[in-house]
Chain A
Amino acid sequence: MAGSTPVSLSADAPASPQLAVQPRKARSISPALETWRRFRRHTLAVTGAIVLLILVSGVLLGPYVWPVAINDIDFAAKLQGPSLAHPLGTDDLGQDLLARMMYGGRISLAVGFAAMLVALTVGVLVGSVAGMASGWLDAALMWLTDLFLALPTLPLLLLVMYLFRDSMKKVLGVEGGAFVLIVVVIGGLRWMPVARLVRAQFLSLREKEFVEAARALGASKVRQVVQHILPNALGPVIVVGTIDVAAAIIFESTLSFLGLGFPSDVPTWGSMLRDAKDYLDIAAHWALFPGGAIFLTVLAINFIGDGLRDAFDPRRVL
């Protein structure tokens, strides 16, 4: 980022300007590359990234290695602990937990990332418009943001799910309808901090001299935003985005827990946890795996967010 390697002013070679800097052989270091370098030095963040990568590739590729049906009921093998036949054990219907974990992980992670994208998109749009427009439009948008912030999340969530679940089911099928609804609701309830952050960034960036220079050259507002303001505002937004992924995964678990998420026969990490809670004393593994997976994912993502924040912050010396 700007000034991450501040060259001291006095480092100017007083010699003739032509000789001031010898062309270096090394490839030019872009701000993105610089950020990546700083991120790489953040051990926890790198560990988090590796853990997340393993989890994601596990749920994506795992089913090909372990092609077991998620709804293969076998009462003879119910509530078993880990074994060769069922590496993560079985649930109360004797269904294979490893297969269900991988299927449920796909849904949970997809919900997390999709909800994050919704929150970021809405937040960046609202924040950008508010940050560029001053006056009544800015005031109206910020009023809207505050209104959403003041809404009580959970009751609203219940209401929306209750009202729209059936109509969405008709259009997109049972799973698709639930997915879209959950993503929209979670994303729709988490865009406000992003909007505020983006607006604050815009207010400060649009007064920066390089943006003023663009104005002096006749750059349109769109050009100022796309070329100059937004790219410099995105760092902190990405950090908030990572936290949103984790929050959405937890939110989905809460919904599942309340029976408002996906249909009960569709496994997600959250719903598995809910189903397992009645058997904690006789089949602890059943709760342990989805619970551990949620915990690991959220922790990994938070560490990644931490690392990104440090990497984007030019004042922070690693």
Chain B
Amino acid sequence: MNAPLAPAEDLLKVRDLRKRFAVRGGIFSRTVDQVHAVDGVSFEIGKGETLGLVGESGCGKSTTGRCILRLIEPSSGEVWFQGNNVTRMGGDELQKLRRDMQIIFQDPYASLNPRLKVGAIIGEALTIHKLAPTQKAMEDRVVQLLETVGLQPDHMHRFPHEFSGGQRQRIGIARALAVEPKLIVCDEPVSALDVSIQAQVINLLEDLQEEFGLTYLFIAHDLSVVEHISTRVAVMYLGRVVEIAPSRELYDNPLHPYTEALLSAVPIPDPTVKRKRIMLQGDVPNPIRPPSGCHFHTRCPIARPDCAQRVPELRESKPGHWVSCHYSG
């Protein structure tokens, strides 16, 4: 690509991102196969926007998020952040990027170091990036961050195991906020939480977005969680984005058969609204040998023979509504 700068309103631009993991086996741990975890993903996120990224477990959502943050090196493709090519960054530039992009994890237990006090966990970023000149400044900032996420100052002296799942998730959010990031990848931040707590955490994320002008890539494995918070939603299937549309539009007029299937699993609050119920046949195919042509053809209710031959391009079916299917939309 000959380096076109992303339009000003796009904070993040992902272009044909691919990640293959080597599967090792046999004697001498040879690479015997490859998992096509992310298989050509493109999207952009506008400043202040929330892009929901939805798909079944194992379809490559987390890998996409981690490649964007360069926690995993993508196999190919490009990630542009504020007009800079993240995939080409090294050393100091990457270190600076760490202040702009952060991540919130799914598992509130695995995401906090059990041997550090909360103050040290949240304060680590301040040490790394030298954001607090004195011990006092550090403590003040930690207290401020704790209060921002709805925790109390004295919580900084406690260890993670003394908190509940929802509170731990708040600590993880405070840690991410410490560097004043512009973009936060939220990797299923509420999936592990009790339903009653989910709403609290989502509300907190929305408040923070408003307060600090944050941009989110919000990953979830079901559409109902994403509907509430997202400006636009991208649906993934086996490493590819099959549909992107503004949130409302996607729910009202899903074009891709896979999106329709996902939606038919979401309970509708209004009982008078009828939605045709689509049950998917079979399991998600193995990403080591994804189906040819359209990845979805093995389970698609409207598939035709040539779906197994031709890969559908993601095309703009209506303004702002993109779909990758030969026969729908």
Binding site for B on A (CB under 8 A): 1-14, 16-18, 20-21, 23, 28-31, 34, 208-219, 223, 227-228, 231-232
Within the assembled complex, what's the spacing in Å between the Cα atoms of A28 and B160? 10
Q: Bound complex: CA of A89 vs CA of B193, how far in Å?
A: 69
Nearest CB of A to B133, in Å: 18
- Can you give 11 contacting A-B residue pairs, CB < 8 Å? A2-B160, A3-B114, A9-B164, A9-B166, A9-B194, A28-B158, A31-B115, A213-B175, A215-B71, A216-B69, A217-B102
Is there an interface contact between B128 and A213, defined as CB atoms closer than 8 Å?
A: no
Task: Give the size range of B's interface with the partner.
Answer: 35 or more
Residue in B105, B154, B165 whose CB lies within 8 Å of A12: B165
- Whether A218 lies near B95 (C-beta < 8 A) is yes
- Of B66, B109, B115, the contact of A3 (CB 8 Å cutoff): B109
> Inside 8 A of A212's CB, which chain B residues have their CB?
66, 71, 103, 105
User: Chain B nearest CB: distance from A61 CB in Å?
Assistant: 35
Q: By the criterion CB–CB under 8 Å, are A227 and B116 in contact?
A: yes
- If A213-B175, A217-B128 touch, whether A17 touches B98 (CB-CB below 8 Å) is no
* Contact assessment for A232 and B151 in the assembled complex, using a CB-CB cutoff below 8 Å: no
A29→B158 CA distance, assembly (Å):
7
Near A by CB (< 8 A), chain B positions 120-171 give 124-125, 128-129, 150-152, 154-155, 157-167, 170
Decide: A14 near B158, CB < 8 A? Known: A213-B175, A216-B69, A219-B128. Answer: no
Set of chain B residues within 8 Å of A13, measured between Cβ atoms: 164
* Centre residue among B94, B114, B179, B194 by max chain A CB count within 10 A: B114
A212 to B110, CA, bound (A): 10
Report B-chain residues with C-beta under 8 Å of the C-beta of A219: 124, 128
A34: chain B residues within 8 A (beta carbon): 161
Which residues from B are CB-within-8-Å of A14?
Answer: 196-197, 200
Do B155 and A21 touch across chains, with their CB atoms under 8 A apart? yes
In the bound complex, CA of A208 to CA of B66 (Å): 13
**Residues of B bordering A, CB below 8 Å:** 66, 69, 71, 94-95, 98-99, 101-103, 105-107, 109-117, 124-125, 128-129, 150-152, 154-155, 157-167, 170, 172, 175, 178-179, 192-194, 196-197, 200, 204
Q: Are B98 and A217 in contact, CB atoms less than 8 angstroms apart?
A: yes
Do B161 and A213 have beta carbons less than 8 Å apart? no
CB-CB under 8 A from B69, the residues of chain A are 216
Q: B160: shortest Cβ distance to chain A, in Å?
A: 8
Find out whether the CB atom of A31 lies under 8 angstroms from the CB atom of B114: yes
B204 proximity list for chain A (CB < 8 A): 17
Nearest residue (CB) in A for B29 is: A139
New A-B contacts (10) at CB < 8 Å, excluding given A212-B71, A216-B101:
A1-B114, A9-B165, A10-B194, A17-B204, A28-B117, A28-B162, A34-B161, A212-B66, A228-B113, A228-B116
Cα–Cα, bound, A304→B288 (Å): 48
**A2-B107 Cα distance, complex, nearest whole Å:** 13
Q: Inside 8 A of A23's CB, which chain B residues have their CB?
A: 152, 154
Q: How far is the CA of A57 from the CA of B48 in the complex (A)?
A: 67
Residues of B within 8 A of A12 (CB): 164-167, 193-194, 196-197
A6 to B155 alpha-carbon distance, docked (Å): 18
